[in-house]
Amino acid sequence: MPYVNTLELVREAEKHGYAVPAINIVDPLTIGAIVRAADEVGSPVILQTSVKTVKSAGADVLYAAVRQAADKASVGVSLHLDHCPDREVITLCVEKGWSSVLFDASNRDLETARRETAEVVEECHAAGVTVESEIENILGVEDGVGSDEATHAYTVDQLIEVATETGTDMLAPALGTAHGQYKAEPVLVPARVKEIKDKLDIPVVLHGGTGLTDAQFHEFIDQGVSKINISTALKHAYMKSALAYLRECEAADKWEPVKLFAEVEKASEAVLREFAEIFRSAGKDGNR
Distance of alpha carbon 242 from the chain centroid: 23
Question: Does residue 82 have an active-site annotation?
Answer: yes
For ligand 13P, which is the closer residue by CB, 6 or 245?
6
Q: Does 82 bind ligand 13P (CB under 6 A)?
A: yes
Q: Does 76 bind ligand 13P (CB under 6 A)?
A: no
Q: Which of 39, 60, 71, 82 is catalytic?
A: 82
CA–CA separation, 120 and 146 (whole Å): 19
Query: What is the size of the binding site for ligand 13P (CB under 6 A)?
Result: 15
Question: Does residue 207 have a known ligand-binding role?
Answer: yes
| Smallest distance, ligand 13P to C-beta of residue 85, A | 13
Stretch of residues binding ligand 13P (CB under 6 A), selected from 30-38, 123-131, 159-167, 228-236:
228-236
Stretch of residues binding ligand 13P (CB under 6 A), selected from 160-168, 204-212, 252-260, 276-284:
204-212
Under 8 Å between Cβ of 177 and 212: yes
Distance of alpha carbon 264 from the chain centroid: 20
Q: Given candidates 97, 176, 180, 186, which one binds ligand 13P under the rule CB under 6 A? A: 180
Under 8 Å between Cβ of 132 and 102: yes
Q: Does 227 bind ligand 13P (CB under 6 A)?
A: no
Q: Does 83 bind ligand 13P (CB under 6 A)?
A: yes
For ligand 13P, which is the closer residue by CB, 209 or 224?
209
Q: Does 207 bind ligand 13P (CB under 6 A)?
A: yes
Binding site for ligand 13P (CB under 6 A): 24, 82-83, 142, 179-180, 207-210, 229-233
Catalytic residues: 82
Annotation: binding site for dihydroxyacetone phosphate: 180, 208-210, 229-232
